[in-house]
């Protein structure tokens, strides 16, 4: 298997499950348990193109959320 390198620092990337959040037009979107590439050296997170497209579709309302969570704002 070919090593994938970070475009920021040249470190090695490895697959990891994480949660990502996006704030768009005053709305907070949480994407839980997603597979991303994380750099061992600098910690940069790389989101695969297909996942980024699905996140955009979800934000546009084309994909129904699994659940809604109330978030306090201060």
- In this prediction the pTM is 0.78
pLDDT (tens digit, 0 to 9) for every residue of the chain, 74 residues total? 467 899 999 999 999 999 999 999 989 999 999 999 999 999 999 999 999 999 999 999 999 999 999 988 89
- The total domain count for the chain is 1
In a domain? residue 2: no
In a domain? residue 41: yes
**What residue numbers bound the domain in which 18 lies?**
13-59
In a domain? residue 64: no
Contact 12, 50 (CB under 8 A): no
In a domain? residue 68: no
Cα(35)–Cα(42) distance, integer angstroms: 18
In a domain? residue 65: no
């Amino acid at each position: 298997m070919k090593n994938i390198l970070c475009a920021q620092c040249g470190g090695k990337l490895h697959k990891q499950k994480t949660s990502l959040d996006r704030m768009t037009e005053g709305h907070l979107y949480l994407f839980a348990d997603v597979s991303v590439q994380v750099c061992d050296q600098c910690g940069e997170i790389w989101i695969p193109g297909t996942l980024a497209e699905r996140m955009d579709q979800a934000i546009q309302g084309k994909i129904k959320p699994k659940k809604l969570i109330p978030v306090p704002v201060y």
